[in-house]
Chains A and B, each alone.
Chain A
């Protein structure tokens, strides 16, 4: 089955700096890659996603890049703010009728004021 690896497990940045989180996946059939943000005591919140026919997607301060050949994708957060502090999860799915997500192990992002 699919296996998703995520790095780093913890990341501290100064407010205003950029943060990058990287994930690799094993199943070349995967074609949908969402990113979730989870704050303490809450469920994961979908923040951005990308499909395999797209190499990059941007939404304000957040961007995701995908390299299908190398089977890796990354989350980029620019101009970080203290409210960006949370655990971030990457995930992969084959899509279609197989909607189950395989998650990475998570990255605890801390933005220092």
Chain B
């Protein structure tokens, strides 16, 4: 079974631009969560999507948004990029059934903002 895939793996943008990252969950998984990983703040939850609806949201500004498609694939968007948005963005998928909370991570997208 294929794991979680994320594209692109690396991205370089300049301040003020916007970026879209993509995540394909494990086949059959219905929940996709996004996390930001930085050396200073560690791993922080951004948001979770389930059945095309945002179910939970972390403490990030409105510049960070996402969506989920009917095939469970998800995208996240960051608008008006700031230097501090440089990070590894990780996507995790879950079956999201009762008692099955396991989340499996993809390799991440390394975003550098210049």
Looking at A41, A44, A95, the one whose CB has the most chain B CB atoms below 10 A away is A44
Stretch at the interface among A18-26, A58-66, A77-85, A99-107: A99-107
Residue B80 lies at the interface, judged by CB distance under 8 Å to chain A: no
Question: Which chain B residue lies CB-closest to A1?
Answer: B59
Are A103 and B105 in contact, CB atoms less than 8 angstroms apart?
A: no
Contact of A103 among B4, B43, B98, B101 (CB under 8 A): B43
Residue A98 lies at the interface, judged by CB distance under 8 Å to chain B: yes
Closest CB-CB distance, B38 to chain A, in whole Å? 12
- Residues on B with beta carbons closer than 8 Å to the beta carbon of A98: 56
Are A36 and B96 in contact, CB atoms less than 8 angstroms apart?
A: no
Question: Which chain B residue lies CB-closest to A45?
Answer: B105
Please report whether the interface of chain B is mostly helix, strand, loop or mixed according to DSSP: strand
Are B90 and A97 in contact, CB atoms less than 8 angstroms apart?
A: no
- Residues on A with beta carbons closer than 8 Å to the beta carbon of B31: 99
User: A99 with B43: in contact, given A42-B107, A43-B108 (CB under 8 Å)?
Assistant: no
> How far, in angstroms, from A52 to B101 measured CA to CA in the complex?
13
> How far, in angstroms, from A57 to B97 measured CA to CA in the complex?
21
Are A99 and B103 in contact, CB atoms less than 8 angstroms apart?
A: yes
Question: Which chain A residue lies CB-closest to B46?
Answer: A100
Looking at B42, B103, B108, the one whose CB has the most chain A CB atoms below 10 A away is B103
> How far, in angstroms, from A11 to B13 measured CA to CA in the complex?
36
Residue B94 lies at the interface, judged by CB distance under 8 Å to chain A: yes
Are A99 and B107 in contact, CB atoms less than 8 angstroms apart?
A: no
Residue A93 lies at the interface, judged by CB distance under 8 Å to chain B: yes
Question: Which chain B residue lies CB-closest to A104?
Answer: B42
Residue A46 lies at the interface, judged by CB distance under 8 Å to chain B: yes
Closest CB-CB distance, B24 to chain A, in whole Å? 13
Residue B58 lies at the interface, judged by CB distance under 8 Å to chain A: yes
> How far, in angstroms, from A72 to B42 measured CA to CA in the complex?
20
**Which residues B21-66 have CB closer than 8 A to chain A?**
31, 33, 35, 42-45, 48, 50, 55-56, 58
Question: Which chain B residue lies CB-closest to A93?
Answer: B101
> How far, in angstroms, from A89 to B92 measured CA to CA in the complex?
15
- Residues on B with beta carbons closer than 8 Å to the beta carbon of A104: 42
Query: Could you list which residues of chain A lie within 8 angstroms of chain B, going by C-beta atoms?
Result: 32, 34, 36, 41-46, 49, 89, 91, 93, 95-106
